[in-house]
Amino acid sequence: MEKVLTFDFNNMMSGMVGKDGISAQQIEGVKAKALDAHAKVAEQAGKGWQGWMDLPYNQDKIADDIIDCAKEVRAKFDYFVVLGIGGSALGPSAVFTALKHLRYNDLPKEKRNGPKFYVEDNVDPERMASLLDVIDAEKTMFNVITKSGATSETMSQFLIIYDLLKSKLGHKANRHIIATTDMQKGNLIKIAKKENFKTFYIPDGVGGRFSELCPVGLLPAAVLGIDVKRMLQGARDMDGICKTADISKNPALFAALLMYIAMNNGKNISVMMPYADSLRLVSDWYCQLWAESLGKSADYDGKLVYAGQTPVKSLGVTDQHSQVQLYTEGPFDKVVTFLAVENFRNTVKIPYGFEDVPDVSFLCGSTLNKLINTELDATEYALTKAGRLNFRITLKQVDEYSVGQLLYFFMMQTAYCGAMLNINTYNQPGVEEGKNATYAMFGKKGYEAKKQELDSAPKKDAKYII
């Protein structure tokens, strides 16, 4: 097992940030709750909606089929498009950005060595039109991802694309669709069987935001030439680390404990700030994971708790010139998580020049590598000096193994934190309310009562519209 991830929480502690920090006594006070959360998560591993905890162990065989399919896609198609939303889009996007060339789609074909990659995660009509302007549908494989096949956004995209394919390719249109869905339940599996699509299955007990390590994420990654088995190994090793109930040796459990205390101390915003462009979309993925899992109005006892912490994405050093002013001098309501990279995949030297200009010459002879990590150190110092809670997760390098570890770390932290809050980490009633209202507005059968409820809702007052 390689040690590629370190968790440094010095700047969460009162000894570093002062009175707003966390004390050793506070940690001791919730240690029993953290240990109970660890036991609950371990006991439910692989059961119910914790089926995602089996993914590092049960996807290797499926990965062989995925890799074979990916080789065929890479050989035959110039474009690969994911149709999905939520975890079906955020996970593949995060892994693509983390592990491939940062301007991958702009590379010539011989350097890219794979199809151009697009993730369509919205139903903005201009976006769909723009996609069709830059791809050739006859040279594109589309991966439609939805467990239920009832996701309005994904299925509307699918209807548009499949109609286009049939108009261009006739009976061969089905060769341009791969469905990733439930094995037995839902609409997409019925359509896939009827149309004879190549199909991969989302295992039971795996919700969208926990699905990156199953075919939802593994197929797009493999098409891009990413070593998916190495990703699974990273997740597997992080799971092994998390099996210990010794809090001092379980970074995901300790991170959950600290966030639990911080939330109870009024820190209701979690800022995710990677200092690496490769990890910038990990922030987007994390935002769904943290918000949708922990944002719950009631706990398991039926008590109204309005739990959760608002995730905010940020990027170092870009947002040092925008958001950091607020983080340093604004309300004491945030925890900032820095994501750092020890060894970048490239080294870029800063050449000598204009030595007579002191504000420029001090950079000469250094590297962008040193500059970005020095700016991280400086921002961390400024926040800590101002008494603002922050901690740092450092990856030795960004590769398949470390990304597998990092994603699994955040999933375990979320599971532990949800257990400490005594909430259902895996449901999403707030999301479902919006979905149901949409169905009712479109006149979908079975949603008549919801339509009646909407019709009787208070109407907007014209005097409040200017």
CB atoms within 10 A of CB 460: 8
Determine whether 453 is an active site residue. no
Task: Give CA angle at 429 (287, 312), nearest 5°.
Answer: 15
Question: Given 33, 396, 435, 444, which residue is catalytic?
Answer: 435
Task: Give the side-chain half-sphere CA count within 13 A for 252.
Answer: 28
Determine whether 229 is an active site residue. no
Two tokens, residue 466: 């200017």
Spatial separation of the C-alpha atoms in residues 125 and 441, rounded to whole Å: 19
Determine whether 292 is an active site residue. yes
Task: Give the side-chain half-sphere CA count within 13 A for 348.
Answer: 6
Question: Given 120, 153, 212, 292, which residue is catalytic?
Answer: 292
Task: Give CA angle at 421 (329, 243), nearest 5°.
Answer: 105
93: left (phi over 0), alpha (psi -120 to 50) or beta: alpha
Helix (H/G/I), strand (E/B), else coil: 423: coil
Question: Given 111, 303, 321, 460, which residue is catalytic?
Answer: 321
pLDDT (0 to 100) of residue 308: 97
Q: Torsions phi, psi of 387, nearest 5?
A: 80, 30
In this structure, are residues 255 and 269 in contact, taking their beta carbons and an 8 Å threshold? Answer: no
Q: Which residues of 43-59 are buried (b: 16+ CB within 10 A; e: fewer)?
A: ebeeeeebbbbbbbeeb
Q: How far apart are the first and last CA of the chain?
A: 62
pLDDT (0 to 100) of residue 2: 79
Q: Which residues of the chain have pLDDT under 70?
A: none
pLDDT per residue over 67-110, tens digit each? 999 999 999 999 999 999 999 999 999 999 999 999 999 999 99
- Residue of 115, 184, 114 lying closest to 148 (CA atoms): 184
Spatial separation of the C-alpha atoms in residues 456 and 460, rounded to whole Å: 12
DSSP per residue, 36-75? HHHHHHHHTTTSGGGGGGGHHHH-HHHHHHHHHHHHHHHH
pLDDT (0 to 100) of residue 451: 85
In order of 115, 164, 177, 189, 201, the CA distances from 172 in angstroms are: 20, 12, 10, 19, 23
In this structure, are residues 399 and 229 in contact, taking their beta carbons and an 8 Å threshold? Answer: no
Spatial separation of the C-alpha atoms in residues 155 and 413, rounded to whole Å: 32
Residue with tokens 């261009």: 168
In this structure, are residues 231 and 78 in contact, taking their beta carbons and an 8 Å threshold? Answer: no
Spatial separation of the C-alpha atoms in residues 92 and 418, rounded to whole Å: 24
Give the ranges where 135-250 is alpha helix by DSSP (H). Answer: 152-169, 187-195, 215-223, 228-242
pLDDT per residue over 246-274, tens digit each? 999 999 999 999 999 999 999 999 999 99
Environment class of 390 (CB within 10 Å of its CB; exposed 0-12, middle 13-18, buried 19+) = buried
